[in-house]
Structure 1
Amino acid sequence: MIKHLRQSLPIGLFLLLYSSLFASVNNADRERFSVVHPKPGDVLHVTDSTFVFGNFSLPCDSVTVNGLPAYLFPNGTFLAMIPVAPGSLNIHTEFKFASGRFQEKRNVFIPTHLFSSPHKNILIEGSFIYPDRPLAVNPGERIAIIAKGTPNAHMYFSFGEGRIYRMREVNKKRRMRWKNTSFGLDRSWYLPSVDGIYVGYFIPKPEDAGNQFRTLLTLITDSEEVISIHNENEIYVRRGNTPIRKEIVKPKSLVDYKNKRFLLTYLYPGAIVTEDGGYGDYSRITLAEKETIWLPRDEITTSVRSISPIDRKTSRVDVKYSQNDNEHISVDIMATYPHPVQVAQSRNLRYYDVFFLQAEDIPPFVRETHSTPLLNRISGKMVAADKYRLRFKFDRRMVWGYELMHDGKNYALSFKKSPKRESLEEQPLKNMVICIDPGHGPDNGAFGLTGINERIMTVDYARKLKALLEKQGAHVVMTRTEDTGLELYQRTQFAEANNSDLFISLHFNALPNGVNPMKIRGTSTFYFHPHSKPLANMIHRHMLSQTKLPDKGVHAKNFSVCRITSMPSVLLEPAFIMQPYEEMRILNPEFRDAVCQGICDGIVDFVKAYD
């Protein structure tokens, strides 16, 4: 028929009729076929392969992605793993069905620095150069200079005044790791496992103080081809290696992990700190010997207090026992001036350490007697030249959390006792307030093959969990009930404003690009502070007994909603939303009921165990 029309109609009319006919077919079919991931224009940080998944409402005989067959699943979804290459990647998905076929095309980008540079062309890749922002350093500090270019060549860096430094090509199998050496926000850096990564080091001399250096990178091949580029991010060498005193203007809490314990550092407005370096828009702050943090420059300032002399040898930290009631054990701590403070819990939850930084020569003390049998000892002593430790020792595990507050000069530390509840077997959670946080919203979170997302499904599960907990006598509050939601920091504030006893954040798990969803599945539970671990273990065990999914473990992770200290807080991932078979279960109301029953049973057993 098409051939007959082409012969009998003028070519212009034929093309118009042909294009309009197939445009209408494509528009109708487009609603029946969907590629959920990746989105058009996505930047995928993968090195060998990525997954492509979506769904179809018209029965398909096959689905191919870039010519490779996809897995098809009973619920009308598909999943394919395709190889990738650096640069722009076209993804061509073809659906074949009884009456024809439908094609969908989109484009994504794969960063070039994740792949070895070509051997044939001489180049230095401007997208992978370190420093990647301006630096302010002290004389004597070791600074890494890093660049990516043609493999098996010779690379040098210089500053244009005669000093030339050789760089070495890193063995890609070693996956070199460095921390602090690179002067980068105290984070660990991993070089991509590719050929052509060159590393050198610059140690400023005392005579370099006050100067700015711009790095010139030069690469020379064995055939004597030469290429050079400038790194526009300058290195400034500070004068005199003298720290600059600054005042904290915004409250801040930061997390660190030392000696197998998480440390939570509190910075209150008015605290004086020392600045001794910079990295882009961040200042390097020294809190104590060998302890540094990075703060945005707008969170510190030069003030009258910061430039006034402080005699740290006259500083004092005095402890006054203030209150013991049915809900809290409270201690007032009076300090001569605001200190940066760190809090660490022991893993057995029998003692809490509070460190006052930038302190000197504070005398030790021990206090054994108190009006409560729970807190049986408070002791204080200098544990470093500039660090004073208060230790609060209890005669049982303190699992319900703590709060540290500051009024501008003095500190109030409050340890929470077990919530008062009536011993009713029918309603074991009576008088308890539980905050449920349906993860995400307004953002979508992770997607499944059918197109569902965490934002929608977590609310559905939260409503069911709320009903189960209320049957056990709990008063339940939710951070959201619709699509809209609070910012992460507002969710824990909401829980505290409602005097919650527990915080439960519901999510569904996902996988990074390049990981095959067919091979990883199961149930995971996360917490942060040691006092939340007993709740995490109890809920996790009951979820597994209900879901029968593989055990992906209980893990300590620095998630924002888990950092709240005033109550046990957990983040739950009952299943993987992008795992095809687990997504089918997530959509099943029976699975939802089983998951929520497991969470509820875990909470009940936790409360009974730590009453």
Structure 2
Amino acid sequence: MKYLSLLAAFLVVHFTPQCLQAQVDSVRVDTVQADTTIAVSDSLYLNIVIPETDTVTYSFSRYRVAANTNPAANAYINGKPVKVYESGAFIHMMEHRSDTTQIEFRVELNGEELTKTMYLVRPEAPEPIDTKGNVISDRMMKPTSELWLVTGETLDVQFLGTPGKEVVFNIDYFKNNIPMKEVPEEIAGIEGLYKGSYTIKPGDKVKDKHITFKMKKGLFGYEKKKSEYTVSFNNFPRVAEVMDENAYLNIGMGTDRLGGARYGSLEPGVKLNITGRKADNYRVQLSKSLSAWIPVRFVELQNEYTSPATSLTGNIRVSGRDESDMITLTLSEKLPYITYQELDPNVIIVDVFGATSNTNWKIKHNSSQGIRNVTWNQVEDDRFRLEIELNHSQNWGYTVGYGWGSQLNVEVKRPPVVTNFNSPLDGRTISVDAGHGGDNRGSLGAAGNLEKDVTLQLSYLVKELLEESGATVVLPRTDDSYVYMSERKEITLDEDADLLVSIHTNSIGYGSDPLDVRGTGSFYKHIAFKPLAAIMYDKMMELGFKDYGLTGSFNFSLNAPIEFPNVLVETAFISNPEEEILLTDPDFQRKIAEQIVKGLEEFYLQHGYLETVSDMPDK
């Protein structure tokens, strides 16, 4: 009967992306809400979890459905009997190969019956354009944003229009009548798609010019249409200043549900050399061999006469304080930098772009107890590298940023002191993050359980066990409310936590079979924090979960900080009905919490600083 208490939470449901999908599908859910829970008595009920509305617009050929009922009931989907699990959950994979697919749910118990019918429909094809005469349509027109290009790059243009025509394009006030070709329908999938291109040559100078498409009509006339966006060639570099404290550098233009792959963040005042623009992103020329992209909204262009951002480096100073060490490098400008780490040896690397060495000495004070050595190298004409070798096995977090003037500071935390070998968490501060919350429900279980509820339950169990071990616990989310990722990070930093564990449950996409995908996973972004993730992964595997993988370079918001070790633990798949039972069982939840705490104890014992030899066990 404990599952009946969850029904009220599903009387109103709304669409939220899953926490971590093994397959990401593009789904549009209609706005008309389904009545997902019906009952004829206290003993028989039908609660439909997926679909979440009476009618779902869906493009793909396979679609999973999930619902729950009395565990003693029989369940059928489109007349086919399906297994009802001890939680009451039942699931099925639908074949969606026609314009409309009916999904009939039916449950039976003691002569009573409940049914509910829902529908999958294919997206409507876009209305055909009227191609009579000479039509140049806005549909599929390129460019789709302002473009800044340089020598060797190619301007690609296209539009959809009347098929079978002679078509050219102009770059206004620069070059006329550049030919375009119609793409064969069997390749384009549509009639009347025209494409053309122009490769920028040395000496080409264009500033903010429109593209004019021209379609021949009659002997001498043309149908014309001007692009909404403009193009510019070889008007670079320009200098931009970072104005937003949330600014970051993307490696490329690709993106997915976690965003684009990033080099890291940038602070206000940093000067960037801009050499291009595409899709509302500026291309940043970091060095001769490396570029990156930054969203236009993060920066402000300086006037076109501003000189490129460069600096000579000054001397290096290495000093220490109570719990950290500081490396300082003097520059005359706030320049962009990228930081990353290496293991064995334990090294922090900071590349400063636009910087040329004028470093003639470095000073290392005896107070810098956590730093073994600092070296520098001019790896390119405009790329200065600092390599900071630590004298301990684990990187416990660091910050990079500008201090007084343009002085670049790298502050490195020392290992926490373990005062008692038998109680390594005593006196430590640990942040335990419960994934999702509030309107962000996270993933859904077929029995009606929500990721946000399970993660909050687990976080409180971990908190209880950690406090029994003498630790102070920070909970960025304490109730059913949503806390922004940036706030969770700031709460962790404000409370001076040693590290962060973010707890989640996993889920598949709509097109995958939930019975085929199960197991536990652990996620990290920075190689320095792989040891923590690996320990957590091993501890979860000890519970008997299937191996779903140890995942690195994961672009999740709470894996991004370099200030403290962090790990995302995807405990198990709530979309799998058998693992959902485990994830919601109080006894098994405690086992999960115990394994997380054991993992933390192992991490501190391996990588913390043992205060006295007497605390070591006898060999």
User: What TM-score, normalized to structure 2?
Assistant: 0.76
Alignment of structure 1 residues 229-244 onto 2, 5 Å = 234=228, 236-244=230-238
Residues 319-367 of structure 1: CA distance to partner in whole angstroms, max 9, x if unpaired? Answer: 1223243x21112222111111111111335221111112235457677
Q: Does 1:299 align with 2:298?
A: yes
Where 2:511 maps in the other structure, the secondary structure is coil
Equivalent residue number for residue 349 of structure 2: 353
Aligned pair partner of 1:79 in 91, 115, 118 = 91
Report the CA distance shift for 1:58/1:111 in structure 2 as closer, same or farther (over 3 A). farther
Tell me if the contact between 1:247 and 1:271 (Cα under 8 Å) persists in the aligned partners: yes
Q: Distance in 1 between matches of 2:309 and 2:103?
A: 70
Question: Shift of residue 597 of structure 1?
Answer: 1.0
Where does residue 249 of structure 1 map in the other structure?
Answer: 243
1:38 is matched with 51
Would the aligned equivalents of 1:168 and 1:200 in 2 still touch at CA under 8 Å?
no
User: Would the alpha carbon gap of residues 358 and 45 (structure 1) be closer, same or farther in structure 2, given more than 3 Å must change?
Assistant: farther
Q: Distance in 2 between matches of 1:362 and 1:157?
A: 57
State the AA in 2 paired with 1:337.
E
Q: 1:511 aligns with which of 508, 513, 518?
A: 508
Residues 112 and 55 of structure 1, relative CA distance in 2, 3 Å threshold: farther
Give the structure 2 partner of residue 92 of structure 1: 103
602, 606, 610: which one pairs with 1:605? 602
The Cα shift of 1:136 comes to: 3.6
Q: How does 1:198-237 map to 2 (within 5 A)?
A: 201-204=197-200, 206=204, 210-213=208-211, 234=228, 236-237=230-231
Corresponding letter in the other structure for 2:237: P
Q: d(CA) in 1 for partners of 2:84 and 2:493? A: 46
Relative distance call for 1:210 and 1:147 in structure 2 (3 A) is closer
**Distance change >3 Å, CA 169–CA 349, structure 1 → 2:** farther
Matched residue, 1:392: 388
The whole-number CA distance in structure 1 between the counterparts of 2:82 and 2:139 is: 34
* 8 A contact 1:263–1:343 mirrored in 2: no
Structure 2 letter corresponding to 1:92: I
Tell me which residue corresponds to 1:50.
63
Closer, same or farther: CA 401–34 of 1 in aligned 2, 3 Å: same
Query: Partner amino acid for 1:481?
Result: T
- From the superposition, tell whether residues 389 and 403 of structure 1 become closer, same or farther in structure 2 (CA, over 3 Å): same
Match of 2:447 in 1: 450
Q: Deviations over 1:557-586 (max 9, x none)?
A: 111101111111000011001111111111
How much has 1:373 moved relative to structure 2? 5.6
Distance 1:45 1:132 in 2: 26
Q: Is the 8 A contact 1:434 1:502 kept in 2?
A: yes
2:180 is paired with a residue whose SS is: strand
Determine which of 112, 117, 126 is the counterpart of 1:104: 117
Please state whether the residue corresponding to 1:400 is helix, strand or coil: coil
Q: Deviations over 1:370-412 (max 9, x none)?
A: 5546423222221112111111123442321211232352222
1:376 alignment counterpart: 372
TM-score (norm 1): 0.77
Q: Which residue of 2 aligns with 1:279?
A: 278
**Cα distance in 2 between the residues matched to 1:270 and 1:307:** 18
2:330 maps to: 334
In 2, the alpha carbon distance for the partners of 1:204 and 1:486 equals 47
Q: Kindly state the Cα deviation for residue 492 of structure 1 after the two structures are TM-superposed.
A: 1.0
3-state SS of paired residue (2:177): coil
Aligned equivalents of 2:583, 2:215: Cα separation in 1: 53
Q: Which aligned pairs between 1:118-267 and structure 2 lie closer than 5 A?
A: 131-138=143-150, 140-144=152-156, 158-159=168-169, 162-166=177-181, 201-204=197-200, 206=204, 210-213=208-211, 234=228, 236-252=230-246, 254=248, 264-267=263-266
Which segment drifts farther, 571-580 or 413-422?
413-422
Report the alpha carbon displacement of residue 110 of structure 1 after superposing the two structures with TM. Answer: 4.7
Q: Which residue of 2 aligns with 1:270?
A: 269
1:44–1:513 contact (8 Å) kept in structure 2: no
Identify the residue that residue 16 of structure 1 maps to in structure 2: none
Residue number in structure 1 paired with 2:483: 486
CA distance in 2, matches of 1:149, 1:76: 55
**Looking at both structures, which has the greater relative contact order when contacts are Cα pairs under 8 Å and sequence separation is at least 6?**
2
Distance in 1 (CA, whole Å) between partners of 2:545 and 2:309 is 60
Report if aligned partners of 1:253, 1:264 keep a CA contact under 8 Å in 2. Answer: no
2:463 match: secondary structure: helix
Q: Is the contact made by 1:353 and 1:391 (CA closer than 8 Å) also made in structure 2?
A: yes
- What is the aligned counterpart of 1:462 among 454, 459, 462? 459
Relative to structure 1, the CA distance from residue 370 to residue 283 in structure 2 (aligned partners, 3 Å threshold; closer, same or farther) is same
After superposition, residues 3-42 of structure 1 pair within 5 angstroms as: 28=40, 32-40=45-53
**CA displacement at 1:241 relative to structure 2:** 3.5
Instruction: Select the residue among 433, 440, 458 that pairs with 2:436.
Output: 440
1-structure distance, mates of 2:475, 2:61: 42
1:568 aligns to what? 565
**Partner SS state of residue 240, structure 2:** strand
Spell out, residue by residue over 1:183-204, the C-alpha distance to the aligned partner (whole angstroms, 9 max, x if none).
xxxxxxxx9xx99999875424
Q: CA deviation at 1:129?
A: 6.7
Q: What's the CA shift for 1:267? A: 2.1
- Report the residue type matching 2:443 in the other structure: A
The structural deviation recorded for 1:256 is 6.1
Distance 1:574 1:84 in 2: 31
Instruction: Supply the distance in 2 between the matched residues of 1:124 and 1:385 (Cα, whole angstroms).
Output: 49
Give % identity: 22
Higher helix share: 1
Determine helix, strand or coil for the equivalent of 1:604.
helix
Please say if residues 245 and 274 of structure 1, whose CA atoms lie closer than 8 Å, have aligned partners that are also in contact: yes
Q: Structure 1 CA distance, aligned partners of 2:282 and 2:364?
A: 42
1:388 & 1:111 partners in 2: Cα distance? 55
Q: Secondary structure at the match of 2:492?
A: helix
The one-letter code sitting in structure 2 at the alignment partner of 1:340 is P
**Does residue 1:580 correspond to 2:592, yes or no?**
no
Alignment partner for residue 558 of structure 1, among 536, 547, 555?
Answer: 555
Distance 1:510 1:346 in 2: 32
1:540 is the counterpart of 2:534: no
Partner of 2:613: none
Please give the alpha-carbon distance, in whole angstroms, between the structure 2 residues aligned to 1:459 and 1:528: 23
Deviation at 1:95, TM superposition (A): 0.7
Q: 1:207 to 1:411 in 2, by over 3 A?
A: closer
Q: Secondary structure at the match of 1:265?
A: strand
Displacement of 1:96 after TM fit?
A: 4.0
Which deviates more, 435-444 or 379-388?
379-388
Q: Distance in 1 between matches of 2:214 and 2:48?
A: 45
Alpha-carbon shift at residue 457 of structure 1 (Å) = 0.7
8 Å Cα contact 1:40/1:107 also seen in 2: no
Pick closer, same or farther for the CA change 1:311–1:495 going to 2, 3 Å: closer
Matched length = 538
Instruction: Go from structure 1 to structure 2 and tell me whether the alpha carbon gap of 1:83 and 1:424 turns closer, same or farther (over 3 Å shift).
Output: same
What is the match of residue 226 of structure 1?
none
Letter in 2 for 1:295: I
CA distance in 1, matches of 2:419, 2:148: 60
| Kept in 1: contact 2:315–2:359 (CA 8 A) | no
Alpha-carbon shift at residue 107 of structure 1 (Å): 5.2
Any stretches of 5+ residues in structure 2 without a counterpart?
Answer: 1-34, 127-134, 171-175, 217-222, 253-260, 609-619
1:465 to partner: Cα distance: 0.8
Q: Which amino acid aligns with 1:103?
A: K
User: Could you tell me whether the CA contact under 8 Å between 2:326 and 2:368 is conserved in 1?
Assistant: no
